[in-house]
Amino acid sequence: MICYFCLAGLAIFLYVFVIHIFVKLMLLKLKHGKDVYISFIPLFGDYFFLQQSFKKYGDATEIFKQRCQKNPNIKFVASNILNKIFLFVHDPEYYKQVLVNHENYTKVEILYHPKLSSTSILFGEPQKVKQQRSLLGEAFTFEKLKQRTPIINQVLLEKLQKEDKTNVLDFLTKTSSEIIIKTFFCKELQEIIVQGNDITTEMIDLITQLGDMQMNDLYVSIKLALLGRRSFGLFPSKNEKQLDARIDRLIDGTLMPIIKNKIANYKPNQNSDFLDIYIHAYLNQKPNEPKITELELCQLFVSIVSAGTDTTSHQIAITLYYLGVERQAQEEIRQEILNVVGNEVDIQPQHLGKLVLLNAFIQEAFRIKNTVIQPLTRIAKETHYIKNLKVEKGTYVAALTTAPSWNDKYFDDPNKFDYKRWLSQRPIKEDNGYVFVPFSAGGRNCIGQHMAMMTMKIMIGQILRQYDVVVDPSVKVTFPLVLFIQYSPQNLVQLKKRKE
């Protein structure tokens, strides 16, 4: 009797997780022929190769790059995850439609948490996100951000003088988070201590742990993949309970009292930081607009700081790594900075446009190793088409925006680090405007991209003025994926003070 149950269970399992998916993939192959590459590994799908790639090549993306280079004309890779189809869209004409028609999708729940991010700009419902982007958009324009360059310079120069720089990534993370908080938020939020940590260390650590748990803890990731947002609070594991308690301490115990106090003492016409802008909207809500809640104000702080900090610091760290490897380029760029900035202490807005070599180098580092390999994976809300590709409701769709950077259809000699390619008239051979989009594109692109570019140029520029960036060529470097692509070992890049 038991055996019959086992057999029936096995048959259902095989049908749901293997046969059903395999047949769907074969049908896609039949319809799309050479346009599609099929990658089927029961349960794990293409994610299986992330670990394989790291084990074999010491680089989490190498297998995907090689696959792209062997099949430069594929439009998409069709794979699976558990019982779902997973499409990795390579062709910029195809993923353009994913990015432009973003309302066809919800974001996968990596980094989602009901208390930490459910109403934030990262995960809110479309109407909510539209409201948030329109409230915050102006503050992120280059014109407004220009006024913030003194803060960026000041925070960095102080930290360069005082802080330990042995672990460059740690140093950059602390510096970028302080820059973001000081640029966009009030003093009360800059000085909080939670559980013995300053607020940003606590927040970044929490978010890294949340992402790590959702991606690598088997129980949590399967629950999330099968139940989506309904999985939160359902039979929580010990790790989930501990993390929830920390999140409660951050939101209820720390941020909420500050937000309530700010609301109680708000005076109109003091729109100097993000919370003021938001509190103004909160106090003047209109019935036909999405409701703004106090929790949303807390999540605004968490989401802006977390979206802006690790992204910026990881990309600066990887750019410094390439500067350490490309010694001659480092010298050329340092000379440019010294010529453009002269004796002035700050790198100012008027200098930024003149730092063309530095800009080209940053672009090339983005192309050769973008630490954010793709925007968050989406899940199709309804069945729809991406050009001739039918995407069924519930399908996972990743716009693999990094793929064109590996492809010689778009870039000559794509494996070569050649920052001067960005100085030529046409660095991209065939461009529909979506080939090189390190900050994504469309209505859900990176709202902080001008802030990111400005911070990167000022931070790298100031570092090069004072330090030699050194990479020991005898140390074996690897590139793991820990939410972001990063280099390892962590002390690989060293900053050596230059003689005045």
* Helix (H), strand (E) at residue 109: none
Number of amino acids touching ligand HEM (CB under 6 A): 25
- Nearest CA to 458 out of 341, 318, 323 is that of 341
Q: Which positions from 315 through 344 interact with ligand HEM, judged by CB under 6 A?
A: 315
- Judged by CB under 6 A, the residue of 165, 174, 421, 444 near ligand HEM is 444
Q: Is 290 in the site for ligand HEM (CB under 6 A)?
A: no
Q: Is 414 in the site for ligand HEM (CB under 6 A)?
A: no
- Judged by CB under 6 A, the residue of 336, 438, 462, 483 near ligand HEM is 438
Q: Nearest residue by C-beta to ligand HEM? A: 448
Stretch that binds ligand HEM, among 10-18, 110-118, 257-265, 434-442 (CB under 6 A): 434-442
3-state class (DSSP) for residue 302: helix
- Judged by CB under 6 A, the residue of 292, 298, 451, 471 near ligand HEM is 451
For ligand HEM, give the closer residue by CB, 37 or 419. Answer: 419
Residue 441: DSSP 8-state: -
Looking at 33-167, list the stretches that DSSP marks H as alpha helix, in order from N- to C-terminal side. Answer: 48-57, 62-70, 92-100, 126-136, 142-146, 149-162
Q: Is 168 in the site for ligand HEM (CB under 6 A)?
A: no
DSSP string, 355-414: -HHHHHHHHHHHHH--SS-SSPPEEESS-EEETTEEE-TT-EEEE-TTGGGG-TTTSSST
Q: Is 299 in the site for ligand HEM (CB under 6 A)?
A: no
Q: Is 459 in the site for ligand HEM (CB under 6 A)?
A: no
Q: Known binding site: residues?
A: 446
Q: How far is the CB of 149 from ligand HEM (least distance, A)?
A: 14
Q: Is 92 in the site for ligand HEM (CB under 6 A)?
A: no
Contacts 24+ apart (CB under 8 A), 405-411: 405/367, 405/368, 405/370, 405/436, 406/64, 406/65, 406/68, 406/69, 407/68, 407/69, 407/72, 407/90, 408/69, 408/72, 409/72, 409/73, 410/92, 410/435, 410/436, 411/367
- Peptide bond connecting 489 to the previous residue in cis, omega within 30 degrees of 0: yes
For ligand HEM, give the closer residue by CB, 129 or 357. Answer: 129
Q: Known binding site for heme: residues?
A: 446
Q: How many distinct helices (H) and strands (E) make up the chain?
A: 20, 14
- Judged by CB under 6 A, the residue of 116, 168, 304, 360 near ligand HEM is 304
- Judged by CB under 6 A, the residue of 452, 458, 459, 483 near ligand HEM is 452
Q: Which positions from 343 through 402 interact with ligand HEM, judged by CB under 6 A?
A: 372, 375-376
- Judged by CB under 6 A, the residue of 312, 319, 359, 363 near ligand HEM is 312
End-to-end CA distance of the chain: 84
For ligand HEM, give the closer residue by CB, 347 or 447. Answer: 447
Q: How far is the CB of 245 from ligand HEM (least distance, A)?
A: 26
Q: Is 149 in the site for ligand HEM (CB under 6 A)?
A: no
How far apart CA 161 and CA 153 sit, in angstroms, is 12
- The DSSP bridge pattern shows strands 481-482 and 484-485 to be antiparallel
The neighbouring-strand residues paired with 79 are: 86
Q: Is 122 in the site for ligand HEM (CB under 6 A)?
A: yes
For ligand HEM, give the closer residue by CB, 213 or 376. Answer: 376
Residue 76 contacts residue 93 (beta carbons within 8 Å): no
Q: How far is the CB of 480 from ligand HEM (least distance, A)?
A: 18
Stretch that binds ligand HEM, among 19-27, 151-159, 185-193, 304-312 (CB under 6 A): 304-312
How far apart CA 222 and CA 213 sit, in angstroms, is 11
Residue 48 contacts residue 77 (beta carbons within 8 Å): no
Where on the chain is the footprint of ligand HEM (CB under 6 A)?
A: 107, 121-122, 129, 133, 180, 303-304, 307-308, 311-312, 315, 372, 375-376, 438-440, 444, 446-448, 451-452
